[in-house]
């Protein structure tokens, strides 16, 4: 597929899906982080405010001790009445007194809370160290969050009690609540006693009550709802955009007439199929199928009926295909097909079979199809393995199928043609000729050569045929076989015929003016030209413009031309004869309806085709036909010219049979006018 088409396809296809998925993931990550951050910040806020309360309690305990510092036992007794576990140790760390289980770990640090600027020494609880100091701040171990909840959640009755009890405790500074809290997170707070002689480490319980939890749950819930709503919205959007994109792609590849595949699909899917590794060992045929009489059908019926028929044709084609094969309707009457095959015979059989089925698509009309075919076969490497056709370009390959199509003739019978590398050369030459024809004509690059016609008995010069040559400054000397058929196809032959008649008449005029005895010169007039209604008058005017007698010009018609409109042809011949021109039938015997043509056409000259004088003539059959043809012509008052005579025996034979003239290499090849002038003089 060309880069341009790929770009167009990408534009339609877009990267919406990937962009949406990436955006979706990014937003989900952002929301997730935001969510975690909020929950963490809120939890830490609660933990920190509880910590401050606990620190106040520790301060109360410190005061109680200080007030009784002269009687340590009494002080400990008072502290024991509270429900906080604690230890008192000396400077060396030796425990002097403790209450409850000592779970204070060595892991600790100085922290600062946002509400109090002073530094507080804390230690992690060795059993349930969910709260720990980190970078002089309190941190929470969220990984153990689930354990934390399950371990600490208590029954509802304790939750209802908790709020006022907590307040009371703090106010009194003596009694502490633990069981009524929903979540209790321990951390040890250390303060100096006795001016730094001792250290009091109190197990602070950072409790969260139901209010905190409900608030947290509410925040989490609301955030979760918002996040989920946004994510659902985005998901729905992404799905919708995905569905829309799929629809767009389908539309991009769908042919509006048949509802099947279109050219873009053929290029995309076809190229993928050809390039696939699994296809390396397989042969594929690319077919340019034309529904020949589609236009006629539309003219006789209607475009919509025509399109309905195309749809049926398309369905018939795909009904005979397997999944990997492709058929696409690419323009009004054309289908592009890609099918696999094993050998050429099988392929031909399949195409003929397809033709037979398609011809019967409409029961009231016989439809006609043409197919140009090219195929790609496995590429085998030096190890004998089929290699992947990685770089094959389906457009280029399909173009070959179209080139093969262009060689097919106008016919109402279905037919196909295979691509051949020579066709490319021919096509290129055709284009070159087409591009250069006008300029060549204007520059008079076309030159008239004359091939003399001689009397076989007297060897006297009796006439000549004017034959065109293209003497091109670019391509050199080009013989008519290389360009006349192309001019006949592209219509330029009419200009050439006019050019030749004018130039021959001009040369004749020049020779007459020189006082020479001129002979009639025959000019080939193409079949395409001959059915023009005014042809006889055009020729007359051209000859008159040069001012020569009409009997010096003879008009040659090829036998195949007689298949066209017979009445128009008879009419033109009669008018030409009426103006005094001779008319001859060229290449008599090369076609298959010559005798029939002779019956109706009032011709003057019969030119026996060169083929009569080619090849072996073991039992004289050729000679019999030639002598009978000469006799027939004489009976019909026609003169005979034998073309392509190369040897003396043929000349002697033709002389004995009464052939009027001989045009062949035996006497002379076609020659430039100067040389012919010399022959006329001699």
Return the residue of 281, 378, 480, 602 that touches ligand C2E, per CB under 6 A: 480
Among 554, 557, 489, 493, CA closest to 521: 554
Return the half-sphere exposure (C-beta side, CA atoms, 13 A cut-off) of residue 362.
18
| Partner from ligand C2E, Mg ion, none contacting 459, C-beta within 5 to 8 A by type | none
Return the residue of 646, 671, 675, 680 that touches ligand C2E, per CB under 6 A: 646
Among 257, 251, 266, 255, CA closest to 312: 257
Q: Which is nearer to Mg ion, 419 or 581 (CB)?
A: 581
The verdict on 677 binding ligand C2E (CB under 6 A) reads: no
Q: Which is nearer to ligand C2E, 351 or 548 (CB)?
A: 548
For residue 32, give the H/E element and its range. helix 16-67
The verdict on 651 binding ligand C2E (CB under 6 A) reads: no
The verdict on 288 binding Mg ion (CB under 5 A) reads: no
Q: Which stretch binds ligand C2E (CB under 6 A): 125-133, 163-171, 327-335, 489-497?
A: 489-497
User: In which residue are the tokens 């070159």 written?
Assistant: 432
- Nearest-angstrom CA–CA distance, 468 and 453: 16
Q: Which is nearer to ligand C2E, 91 or 614 (CB)?
A: 614
| Minimum CB distance to ligand C2E, residue 607 (Å) | 7
Report helix, strand or coil for 235.
Answer: helix
Q: Which is nearer to Mg ion, 125 or 586 (CB)?
A: 586
Among 149, 215, 204, CA closest to 182: 149
The verdict on 660 binding Mg ion (CB under 5 A) reads: no
Among 197, 411, 394, CA closest to 286: 394
Classify burial at 101, counting beta carbons within 10 Å of its beta carbon; exposed 0-12, middle 13-18, buried 19 or more: exposed
Return the residue of 279, 368, 670, 676 that touches ligand C2E, per CB under 6 A: 670
| Minimum CB distance to Mg ion, residue 453 (Å) | 11
The verdict on 484 binding ligand C2E (CB under 6 A) reads: yes
The verdict on 586 binding Mg ion (CB under 5 A) reads: yes
Q: Which is nearer to ligand C2E, 365 or 469 (CB)?
A: 469
| Partner from Mg ion, ligand C2E, none contacting 468, C-beta within 5 to 8 A by type | ligand C2E
Report helix, strand or coil for 641.
Answer: strand
| N-terminal to C-terminal alpha carbon distance within the chain | 68
Parallel, antiparallel, or unpaired for β 198-208 and 671-672?
A: unpaired
- Nearest-angstrom CA–CA distance, 626 and 620: 10
Return the residue of 330, 423, 467, 557 that touches ligand C2E, per CB under 6 A: 467
Backbone angles phi, psi at 2, to 5 degrees: -70, 155
Return the residue of 162, 587, 604, 660 that touches Mg ion, per CB under 5 A: 587
Q: Which stretch binds ligand C2E (CB under 6 A): 235-243, 562-570, 597-605, 643-651?
A: 643-651
The verdict on 524 binding Mg ion (CB under 5 A) reads: yes
Q: Which is nearer to Mg ion, 338 or 598 (CB)?
A: 598
The verdict on 33 binding ligand C2E (CB under 6 A) reads: no
Q: Which is nearer to ligand C2E, 122 or 633 (CB)?
A: 633
Q: Which is nearer to Mg ion, 586 or 660 (CB)?
A: 586
Residues 575-604 that bind ligand C2E (CB under 6 A): 586-587
| Minimum CB distance to Mg ion, residue 410 (Å) | 24
Return the residue of 287, 500, 626, 638 that touches ligand C2E, per CB under 6 A: 500
Q: Which is nearer to Mg ion, 586 or 604 (CB)?
A: 586
Which residues does residue 326 pair with via DSSP β-bridges, in sequence order?
338
Distance of CA 249 to the CA centre of its chain: 13
Return the residue of 57, 205, 468, 557 that touches ligand C2E, per CB under 6 A: 468
The verdict on 496 binding ligand C2E (CB under 6 A) reads: yes
| Partner from ligand C2E, Mg ion, none contacting 169, C-beta within 5 to 8 A by type | none
CB burial of 412-433 (b: ≥16 within 10 Å; e: otherwise) equals eebbbbbbeeebeeebeebeeb
| Minimum CB distance to Mg ion, residue 572 (Å) | 17
Backbone angles phi, psi at 592, to 5 degrees: -130, 15
The verdict on 554 binding Mg ion (CB under 5 A) reads: no
| Partner from Mg ion, ligand C2E, none contacting 554, C-beta within 5 to 8 A by type | none
The verdict on 490 binding ligand C2E (CB under 6 A) reads: no
- Nearest-angstrom CA–CA distance, 83 and 515: 151
Among 667, 590, 663, 599, CA closest to 633: 599
CB of 201 closer than 8 Å to CB of 125: no
The verdict on 497 binding ligand C2E (CB under 6 A) reads: yes
The verdict on 665 binding ligand C2E (CB under 6 A) reads: yes
| Minimum CB distance to Mg ion, residue 545 (Å) | 23
Taking each helix axis from N to C end, the angle separating 493-513 and 535-546, rounded to the nearest 10 degrees, works out to 30
Parallel, antiparallel, or unpaired for β 582-588 and 605-608?
A: parallel
| Partner from Mg ion, ligand C2E, none contacting 484, C-beta within 5 to 8 A by type | ligand C2E
| Minimum CB distance to Mg ion, residue 643 (Å) | 5
Q: Which stretch binds Mg ion (CB under 5 A): 74-82, 204-212, 395-403, 519-527?
A: 519-527
| Minimum CB distance to ligand C2E, residue 512 (Å) | 21
Give the interface size with Mg ion as a residue count (CB under 5 A): 5
Residues 437-456 that bind ligand C2E (CB under 6 A): 451
| Partner from ligand C2E, Mg ion, none contacting 664, C-beta within 5 to 8 A by type | ligand C2E
Count H helices and E strands in the chain, helices first.
21, 25
The verdict on 643 binding ligand C2E (CB under 6 A) reads: yes
The verdict on 546 binding ligand C2E (CB under 6 A) reads: no
Beginning with the edge strand found earlier in the chain, give each strand of the sheet holding 198-208 in spatial order.
95-99, 86-90, 198-208, 183-193, 119-125, 104-112
Among 528, 511, 512, 490, CA closest to 676: 511
Q: Which stretch binds ligand C2E (CB under 6 A): 160-168, 361-369, 417-425, 638-646?
A: 638-646
DSSP symbols for 643-675: ES--SHHHHHHHHHHT--EEESTTT---EEHHH
Among 332, 341, 365, CA closest to 353: 341
Among 613, 614, 562, CA closest to 592: 562
For residue 25, give the H/E element and its range. helix 16-67
CB of 338 closer than 8 Å to CB of 322: no
- Nearest-angstrom CA–CA distance, 669 and 584: 20
Return the residue of 556, 559, 604, 660 that touches Mg ion, per CB under 5 A: 556
> Which residues are at the interface with Mg ion (CB under 5 A)?
524, 556, 586-587, 643
Residues in contact with ligand C2E by the rule CB under 6 A: 451, 467-468, 479-481, 484, 493, 496-497, 500, 524, 526, 586-587, 610, 643-646, 663-665, 670
């Amino acid at each position: 597929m060309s880069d341009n088409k790929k770009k167009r396809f990408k534009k339609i296809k877009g990267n919406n899906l990937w962009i949406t998925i990436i955006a979706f993931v990014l937003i989900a990550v952002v929301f997730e982080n935001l969510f975690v951050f909020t929950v963490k910040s809120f939890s830490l806020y609660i933990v920190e405010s509880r910590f401050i309360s606990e620190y106040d309690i520790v301060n109360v305990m410190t005061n109680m001790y200080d007030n009784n510092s002269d009687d340590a036992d009494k002080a400990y007794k008072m502290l024991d009445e509270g429900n906080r576990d604690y230890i008192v140790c000396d400077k060396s760390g030796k425990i002097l007194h403790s209450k409850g289980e000592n779970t204070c770990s060595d892991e600790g640090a100085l922290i600062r809370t946002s509400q109090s600027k002073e530094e507080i020494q804390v230690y992690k609880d060795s059993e349930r160290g969910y709260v720990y100091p980190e970078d002089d701040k309190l941190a929470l171990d969220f990984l153990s969050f689930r354990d934390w909840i399950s371990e600490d959640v208590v029954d509802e009755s304790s939750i209802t009690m908790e709020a006022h009890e907590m307040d009371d405790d703090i106010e009194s500074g003596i009694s502490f609540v633990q069981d009524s809290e929903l979540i209790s997170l321990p951390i040890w707070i250390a303060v100096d006693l006795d001016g730094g002689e001792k250290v009091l480490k109190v197990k602070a319980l950072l409790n969260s009550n139901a209010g905190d939890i409900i608030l947290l749950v509410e925040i989490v819930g609301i955030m979760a709802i918002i996040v989920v709503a946004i994510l659902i919205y985005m998901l729905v959007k992404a799905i919708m955009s995905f569905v829309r994109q799929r629809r767009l792609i389908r539309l991009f590849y769908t042919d509006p007439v048949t509802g099947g595949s279109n050219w873009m699909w053929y290029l995309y899917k076809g190229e993928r199929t050809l390039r696939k590794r699994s296809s390396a060992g397989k042969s594929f045929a690319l077919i340019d199928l034309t529904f020949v009489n589609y236009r006629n059908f539309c003219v006789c019926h209607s475009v919509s009926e025509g399109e309905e028929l195309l749809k049926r044709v398309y369905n018939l084609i795909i009904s005979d295909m397997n999944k990997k094969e492709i058929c696409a309707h690419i323009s009004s009457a054309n289908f592009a097909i890609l099918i696999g095959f094993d050998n050429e015979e099988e392929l031909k059989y399949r195409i003929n079979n397809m033709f037979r089925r398609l011809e019967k698509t409409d029961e009231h009309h016989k439809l006609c199809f043409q197919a140009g075919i090219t195929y790609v076969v496995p590429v085998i490497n030096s190890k004998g393995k089929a290699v992947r056709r990685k770089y094959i370009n389906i457009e280029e390959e399909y173009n070959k199928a179209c080139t093969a199509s262009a060689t097919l003739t106008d016919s109402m019978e279905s037919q196909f043609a295979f691509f051949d590398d020579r066709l490319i050369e021919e096509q290129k030459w055709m284009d070159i000729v087409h591009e250069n024809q006008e300029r060549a004509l204007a520059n008079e690059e076309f030159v008239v050569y004359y091939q003399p016609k001689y009397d076989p008995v007297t060897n006297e010069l009796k006439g000549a045929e004017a034959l065109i040559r293209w003497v091109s400054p670019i391509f050199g000397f080009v013989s008519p076989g290389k360009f006349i058929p192309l001019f006949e196809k592209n219509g330029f032959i009419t200009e050439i015929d006019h050019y030749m008649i004018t130039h021959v008449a001009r040369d004749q005029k020049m020779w007459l003016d020189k006082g020479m005895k001129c002979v009639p010169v025959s000019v080939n007039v193409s079949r395409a030209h001959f059915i023009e209604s005014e042809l006889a008058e055009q020729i007359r005017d051209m000859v008159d413009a040069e001012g020569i007698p009409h009997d010096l010009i003879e008009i040659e018609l090829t036998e195949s031309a007689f298949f066209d409109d017979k009445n128009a042809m008879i009419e033109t011949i009669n008018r030409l004869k009426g103006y005094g021109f001779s008319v001859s039938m060229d290449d008599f015997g090369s076609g298959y309806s010559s005798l029939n043509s002779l019956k109706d056409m009032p011709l003057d000259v019969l030119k026996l085709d060169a083929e009569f004088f080619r090849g072996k003539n073991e039992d004289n059959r050729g000679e019999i036909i030639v002598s009978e043809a000469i006799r027939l012509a004489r009976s019909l008052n026609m003169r005979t010219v034998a073309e392509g005579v190369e040897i003396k025996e043929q000349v002697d034979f033709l002389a004995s049979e009464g052939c009027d003239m001989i045009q062949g290499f035996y006497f002379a090849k076609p020659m430039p006018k100067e040389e012919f002038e010399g022959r006329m003089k001699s």
